[in-house]
Amino acid sequence: KSIKAYSQEFVNYQRRLYISEVKTMAAILMIAYIAAAYWATNKIWWSKKVYVYSNATYFYMTRFIICMVAGFVTIPIALLLTLVGKN
């Protein structure tokens, strides 16, 4: 093989490795976002309230969907409430 073929293989290997690293980082950030959004939504939305549901799956899926949609808003609010010390 020529030098050009080896260098092209190396470049392709680096690209695949970079894409793999990006996907791994995206997965880690998504898990961190889900955890933070769930915590923040629980702190703001469901704190000091009692909810009665007959279907647990519906209840937790509703909580999960709300935390995914409202996470961008609830995370900063919950952090401010935590820093200020207001429960």
- Region 5-24: mean pLDDT is 81
Q: How far apart are CA 74 and CA 36, in angstroms?
A: 9
Please check whether residue 70 is in contact with residue 41, taking contact to mean a CB–CB distance below 8 angstroms: yes
**Amino acid 1: pLDDT:** 67
pLDDT (tens digit per residue) in 49-84: 777 778 888 888 888 898 889 889 999 999 998 899
pLDDT (tens digit per residue) in 23-46: 888 899 999 999 999 999 888 887
**Amino acid 51: pLDDT:** 77
Q: Which two tokens stand for residue 14?
A: 């680096």
DSSP-assigned states of every residue in 3-21: HHHHHHHHHHHHHHHHHHH
The runs of H, that is alpha helices, within the chain are: 3-44, 56-84
**Amino acid 37: pLDDT:** 93
Reported pTM: 0.71
Provide the 8-state DSSP code for 46. S
Please check whether residue 17 is in contact with residue 56, taking contact to mean a CB–CB distance below 8 angstroms: no
